[in-house]
Amino acid sequence: MSLKNQILLIIAAALLAACGRTATVTQIDIIPEPVFQVQKEGSYTLNRDIAVATSGLGQNSPTAKYIMNSLRHAHMRPSLVAQSEVSDLDLILNDTINPELGEEGYLLEVRQTGICLSANTEVGLFYAYQTFIQIIPSDVLEHTYSSITLPECTILDYPRFAWRGAHLDCRSQHFSVKFIKKYLDLMANFKLNRFHWQLPEHTLPGQQGDSTAETIDSTDTEEDDTEYYTDEEVAEVVAYAAALGIEVVPAEGMTLVWDNEAAESTPKDSTMHIVLARTSLQAGQNAARAGKLVVMCPDEYCRLDYYQADPRYQPLANAGLITLAKAYEFDPAPHGTNKYVEQSTLGGQCNLWTENLENTTEVEYMLLPRLLAMSECLWSPRENKNWSHFRKKVELLKMRLDNKGYSYCEGSFTPLFRASRVDDRTMNIAIETEVPNTYIFYTTDSTTPTRRSQVYLGPINLKRGTHIKILPVYKDQERDSVYEFIIK
- Ramachandran area for residue 162 (φ above 0: left; ψ -120 to 50: alpha; else beta): alpha
CB 337 within 8 A of CB 322: no
Class assignment of domain 17-157? alpha beta
Q: What does the pLDDT read at residue 82?
A: 85
Q: What does the pLDDT read at residue 209?
A: 38
Strands 467-474 and 483-486 come out as antiparallel
Q: Give the pLDDT confidence of 81-139 residue by residue, as tens digits.
A: 988 788 999 999 999 999 999 999 999 999 999 999 999 999 999 999 999 999 999 99
Q: What does the pLDDT read at residue 279?
A: 86
Segment holding 201, helix H or strand E: none
Can you tell me the distance from the alpha carbon of 182 to that of 286, in angstroms, rounded to the nearest whole number? 36
Choices 2.60.40, 1.10.10, 3.20.20, 1.10.3470: CATH for 416-486: 2.60.40
CB 93 within 8 A of CB 56: yes
Q: What does the pLDDT read at residue 379?
A: 98
CB 46 within 8 A of CB 88: yes
Domain(s) of CATH 3.20.20.80: residues in the chain: 163-386
Upstream peptide bond of 298 is cis (omega within 30 degrees of 0): no
SS3 428: strand
Residue in 46, 52, 43, 73 with CA at minimum distance from that of residue 147: 46
CB 321 within 8 A of CB 283: no
Angle at 364 between CA 280 and CA 283, to 5 degrees: 5
Can you tell me the distance from the alpha carbon of 126 to that of 80, in angstroms, rounded to the nearest whole number? 17
pLDDT, mean of each 10-residue run, the chain (488 residues): 61 53 95 97 96 91 95 95 88 95 98 97 98 95 94 98 96 95 97 94 50 39 62 95 94 45 41 77 87 93 95 90 96 92 94 94 97 98 96 93 93 90 94 91 94 95 95 87 90
Can you tell me the distance from the alpha carbon of 128 to that of 136, in angstroms, rounded to the nearest whole number? 13
Q: What is the sign of the dihedral through the CA atoms of 240, 243, 246 and 250? A: positive
Domain(s) of CATH 3.30.379.10: residues in the chain: 17-157
SS3 144: coil
Locate the DSSP E strands across 232-335.
247-250, 254-255, 263-267, 274-277, 293-296, 306-307, 318-321
**CB neighbour class for 303 (10 Å; exposed up to 12, middle 13-18, buried from 19):** buried
Q: What does the pLDDT read at residue 360?
A: 96
Can you tell me the distance from the alpha carbon of 163 to that of 346, in angstroms, rounded to the nearest whole number? 5
Q: What does the pLDDT read at residue 211?
A: 34
Can you tell me the distance from the alpha carbon of 214 to that of 360, in angstroms, rounded to the nearest whole number? 13
Q: Give the pLDDT confidence of 271-291 residue by residue, as tens digits.
A: 357 888 888 889 888 888 888
Q: What is the sign of the dihedral through the CA atoms of 72, 74, 76 and 80? A: negative
Q: Would the pTM of this model clear 0.85, i.e. be above it? A: yes
Residue in 372, 381, 323 with CA at minimum distance from that of residue 134: 372
Domain(s) of CATH 2.60.40: residues in the chain: 416-486
Choices 1.20.140.10, 3.20.20.80, 3.40.190.90, 3.40.50.10540: CATH for 163-386: 3.20.20.80
- What residue type is assigned to position 282 of the chain? Q
Can you tell me the distance from the alpha carbon of 472 to that of 461, in angstroms, rounded to the nearest whole number? 20
Can you tell me the distance from the alpha carbon of 349 to that of 165, in angstroms, rounded to the nearest whole number? 4
Can you tell me the distance from the alpha carbon of 407 to that of 414, in angstroms, rounded to the nearest whole number? 21
CB atoms under 10 Å from CB of 393, counted, come to 19
DSSP states along 75-123: T-EEEEES-GGG-SEEEEE-SS--TTTTTT-EEEEEETTEEEEEESSHH
Residue in 153, 56, 131 with CA at minimum distance from that of residue 95: 56
